[in-house]
Structure 1
Amino acid sequence: MMMNDDVFLDQLRQLPQVESSFTYGAETARRMLIDGNWIPMNAYGTRVRYDDIKRVQQTTTYAMEVGYRTIDTGPGYLTEDVVGNAIVNVTGRGIVRRTDLFICTKLPFTVGSREQVAPAIRDSLKRLQTNYVDLVLLETTHNVLDKGKHNISDIWRGLEDAKWAGLTRSIGVANFDITDISKILASSKTIPAVNQIETNPTFANLKLVAYCQSKSIVVMGCAAFGFLVRRPHNNITLPPTFTNPVLVKMAKKYGVTVSQVVLRSLLDRNIVPVSTSSNKEHIKLNEDIFDFHLSHKEIQEIKKFDKNEKVHPIEVDDMRKQYEEMKSYIKKNNLTQYENI
């Protein structure tokens, strides 16, 4: 007898959420999404300054060589094609199987309706040189391009279509707040598998993280280092720094770096951290965060750095400015593979 959706989802929620003994290259925990798929609990991000895009193929290849299995990209990052080259490289050399990778991408801002979703994903698949992705995210509720037809519920139905068609294994959202997610839950039986949001020491995002986790939505935490690293587009400087005595003490206790402590603090909050680096030593260290745990007291100490200050602005005007800069870069560099985004 076929069970109804509510019973199935209840049973999913009762299953173990983290499997720490599973091995993906280096020993890496993974987390079960609400749809039954698994996401490795540490992600390598490919959102970089345009001047650094030329290095992404090499750094992403290295990230997978040292154990990263979740790779985060998006058409708006202009890195899908080089990530695709990296995937072909490591799978071709037998470093990892495609089925062991978890590739996350996003819908471009040009998508405003259900029928536009699948073609956009197929464009991403072509750039990524794969016949499916593991996760596609609806990146914002904003009508960034001020399109006449722009309906979030309709776009979400398009993502459901894409999942059933096998273009993606899971679907989710990014930069959605509690109200945004509530609207999805009210209009669809498909719960977002993931909400990718900024979360770091100076922007802990406590309320939204708690809400998502209460709904069995896995949080991916981008801008994981917050203001510990230099942000060229943002002149704000906030503590902590890499020399902060609280973080240094924790790092010495566990024989790790401050960067590893920061990433581990997200893992210990059941958040999938998304970190980016072009430095091979840092990439390797950032992946090697599964041999220690922070105490509850230490997590609370790190939360005290929270200033509710975002690294990346996500208001519609900011996104429009970013989009205009991206289109200018595409035109200047003749990136025809991205001309439709």
Structure 2
Amino acid sequence: MTSFGYFLSCEEFTPAQLLDQARKAADAGFTRLAISDHFHPWNDAQGNSPLVWSMIGALSQTVDLPVTTLVTCPTMRLHPAVTAQAAATSSRLLDGRFALGVGTGEALNEHVLGDRWPSFDERADMLEEAVDVMRKLFTGRRISHRGTHYTVDNARLYTAPHGRLPVHVSGFGPKAAELAGRIGDGFVTMGPDEEAIGRFRDAGGGGKPVIGGLKVCWGEDRDKAVDTAHRLWPSEHLPGELAQILPTPAHFEQASRLVPREEVSANVPCGDDVEEHVEAVRGYLGAGFDEVYVGQIGPEQDAFFAAWRDKLLPALGGQGAGT
């Protein structure tokens, strides 16, 4: 049975707005939360970027829903030992309802300390070592590690995770999908790509959850909703590896000028046509996703949550809070 979660975008909303959305998501029938982990937004129009670990602490005192990071890069901006401590504390605050989604990162966030931006193969190797380090620390035992990329010297998490802490690995290409199958407790991929899921399963991911999601822009006026999505999230439609290698919001703004409004209109559910939104979500169900996270673009949050509760969730086979 697929579970539906709400995606909290740290790039687009203030901390107070994110907490308000979490409460409203629970009331609307969402059973999970995902939250992004960024140092920068994708563009200045989004305008925010609170620290995810502070947000998770606040969320743990606001709602009782499970929380997953989508996704954290534990390799450059934060050392994996520090990321492990943050994740373990989050697990304890959430009584074990925390999952750590990880990926190889984007230059947008990871360049800020002035480090060289490695190739994908090197970043994937760093991620594999980082996941190994974090899992050793999650045991609560004292560890030392001398690896290719990281050193850990007599470190112990005295506040270890509450039970087992899943590490879900993000991937958007064949190599990343296979890495996720080999080292991940689950696979994070945003689009309903059945080929990628097959690679994940074949590489060791059989029986492990597949996690993904989509952004929508609910609103009475479809043209206005398309304009909002095009203004705030054109970066979602950049081709190839641009999202991984562009270093600043200004660079994304420059590249996003090449994204036509029609591209957004054709690929982002916009407006108030229930069937358009439901069909987009059904694409994930048909591809075999276990968790689907939906994020509302723009200011019409209350209208979206009401629509999800009363129209979209019932159409997807769930029970709306208002029925």
With normalisation by structure 1, the TM-score equals 0.53
1:136 aligns with 2:100: yes
CA deviation string 1:125-178 (max 9, x = no partner): 657844645311222266844469962221121243255445252111113532
Paired-residue identity, %: 8
1:268 aligns with 2:286: yes
Q: 1:72 to 1:290 in 2, by over 3 A?
A: same
Q: What one-letter code is carried by the residue in structure 1 that aligns with 2:200?
A: C
Q: What one-letter code is carried by the residue in structure 2 that aligns with 1:192?
A: G
Aligned to 1:95: none
Tell me the distance in 1 between the aligned counterparts of 2:85 and 2:293: 24
Tell me the distance in 2 between the aligned counterparts of 1:257 and 1:184: 33
| Equivalent residue for 1:281, pick from 303, 309, 314 | 303
- Pairing of 1:121-200 with structure 2 (within 5 A): 121-124=84-87, 129-130=93-94, 132-140=96-104, 144-145=110-111, 146=115, 151-165=126-140, 167=161, 169-183=165-179, 191-199=183-191
Conservation of the 8 A alpha-carbon contact between 1:73 and 1:105: yes
Aligned-partner SS, 2:232: coil
Q: 1:162 to 1:181 in 2, by over 3 A?
A: farther
**Structure 1 spans left out of the alignment, 5+ residues:** 1-17, 19-29, 31-40, 91-97, 295-341
**Structure 2 spans left out of the alignment, 5+ residues:** 39-48, 141-159, 218-224, 235-255, 318-323
1:232 aligns with 2:194: no
Q: What one-letter code is carried by the residue in structure 2 that aligns with 1:123?
A: A
Aligned to 2:200: 212
1:221 aligns with 2:212: yes
CA deviation after TM superposition for structure 1 residue 268, in Å: 3.2
Tell me the distance in 1 between the aligned counterparts of 2:138 and 2:26: 25
Tell me the distance in 2 between the aligned counterparts of 1:171 and 1:242: 29
Tell me the distance in 2 between the aligned counterparts of 1:243 and 1:119: 38
Alpha carbon RMSD of aligned pairs, Å? Answer: 4.0
Q: 1:67 to 1:243 in 2, by over 3 A?
A: closer
CA deviation string 1:52-107 (max 9, x = no partner): 444111111111222222111244252443453243133xxxxxxx4xx3211267
Conservation of the 8 A alpha-carbon contact between 1:163 and 1:170: no
With normalisation by structure 2, the TM-score equals 0.56
Aligned-partner SS, 2:189: strand
Conservation of the 8 A alpha-carbon contact between 2:75 and 2:104: no
Q: 1:105 to 1:133 in 2, by over 3 A?
A: farther
Conservation of the 8 A alpha-carbon contact between 2:71 and 2:101: yes
Aligned length in residues: 230
Q: What one-letter code is carried by the residue in structure 2 that aligns with 1:122?
A: Q
Q: What one-letter code is carried by the residue in structure 1 that aligns with 2:170?
A: A
Conservation of the 8 A alpha-carbon contact between 2:180 and 2:200: no
- Pairing of 1:1-341 with structure 2 (within 5 A): 18=1, 30=2, 41-50=3-12, 52-76=14-38, 78=50, 79-90=52-63, 98=64, 101-105=65-69, 108-109=72-73, 111-112=75-76, 116-124=79-87, 129-130=93-94, 132-140=96-104, 144-145=110-111, 146=115, 151-165=126-140, 167=161, 169-183=165-179, 191-199=183-191, 204-214=192-202, 215-216=205-206, 217-225=208-216, 229-234=229-234, 235=256, 236=259, 237=261, 238=263, 239-240=265-266, 256-271=274-289, 272-277=291-296, 279-286=301-308, 289-292=312-315
Aligned-partner SS, 1:223: strand
Tell me the distance in 2 between the aligned counterparts of 1:286 and 1:273: 14
Aligned-partner SS, 1:210: helix
The one of the two structures with greater contact order (alpha-carbon pairs below 8 A, sep at least 6) is: 2
Conservation of the 8 A alpha-carbon contact between 1:132 and 1:169: yes
Conservation of the 8 A alpha-carbon contact between 2:7 and 2:293: yes
Q: 1:224 to 1:117 in 2, by over 3 A?
A: same
